[in-house]
Amino acid sequence: MFIGLIFIIVGALFLISIFVPDFVIDFSYAFPLILIVSSIYYIIKGKKLSLANTTVLYIGIWFLLEELNIIRDPYDNAFFPLLLIIIGLFIIMESKKVKKISKSKNDTLKNYYGIFSGLEERVTDSNFKGANIYSVFGGVDLDLRSLEPKEDITINAYSIFGGTSIFVNDNYKVKLNSFSLFGGNENKSLSNSQKKSHMLTVNCISIFGGTEIK
């Protein structure tokens, strides 16, 4: 709704400038201000900083400072290095969240690697506690459909230029904690019933890759 309102206001200003020649709008300032206001709106609405709204806020502030001639040559070349730093900081923060969530179970989690290759694994061990999955320029397919629920399970999936697929049965509630950069994570499972007694928590970090729960 808020974004739609912004489009309507901008469109109306364009129409006014067409029909009233004396009405002049400097859109070089309007565009960055729109980015700043919209990003702040979604930060307040969501009560948190995300990579998307922080990036939009950064771009808006940068363009506005350039238009005000506050950022000058050669400092204007710092745009992309600073953007990379912002992205890197978010990746580190999300990695710490995943480690914090799984810290108590970390010593019992199995490791699966799909690095420059593919791995298909079917889990039948009734004592399975969870796993760390690393798909780097490769892929991992982890099949959990044979498991009967005895306790909660945690899976940490790191997909970097690769893909991870996790197959589940309908015995678990599935909770997805997701962070993606030029990639995507998706929960396609139908195992979200509140009547299920055990939870499967999947923490995903995907960079130029993705994780699917099926």
Range scoring the smallest mean pLDDT among 13-22, 113-122, 172-181, 203-212? 13-22
Total-model pTM: 0.58
Interatomic CA distance for residues 158 and 113, integer angstroms? 10
Domain segments of the chain: what residues?
A: 2-72, 104-213
What pLDDT digit, counting tens, does each position of 135-187 carry?
Answer: 988 999 999 888 877 788 889 998 888 999 999 887 788 888 888 777 888 88
Q: How far is CA 212 from CA 112, 132, 208, in A?
A: 16, 15, 14
